[in-house]
Homo-oligomer: A and B are copies of this chain.
Amino acid sequence: MFGLIGKITAESGRRAELAAYLHDGSRDLPGCLSYVVALDSQDPDVIWVTEVWEDAEAHKASLRLPSVQKAITKGRPLIAGFETVATTDPLPGLR
């Protein structure tokens, strides 16, 4: 499996809107086993996205989906910073 932990910093005051776009864009993604969009409890501008995919190719293919492209287009102006904190190899048997 393939995992991603991303830290996205929204433009000030735009986090909720950006998180909604990210969440909407994560619907029905082939090969996606887990996709969590979460608001940082301390920093009011930070969103964490933690993902698990069947493999890296499934993740890469998802970036070409219309729904994801649409979310990226809508979300990009609201993004002040993006960091891939880690790529991972999740253990099978997700809880």
Q: What is the interface size of chain A, counting residues whose CB is below 8 A from a CB of the partner?
A: 33
Listed in ascending order, the chain A residues whose CB lies under 8 Å from chain B are 3, 5, 7, 19-20, 23, 26-27, 29, 32, 34-42, 46, 48, 50, 52, 85-91, 93-95
CA distance A94 to B95 in the complex (A): 12
Chain copies in the assembly?
A: 2
CA distance A41 to B56 in the complex (A): 12
Question: Are A23 and B91 in contact (CB-based, < 8 A)?
Answer: yes
CA distance A11 to B27 in the complex (A): 38
* Closest CB in chain B relative to A43 CB, distance in Å: 8
Question: Are A86 and B41 in contact (CB-based, < 8 A)?
Answer: yes
Question: Are B38 and A3 in contact (CB-based, < 8 A)?
Answer: yes
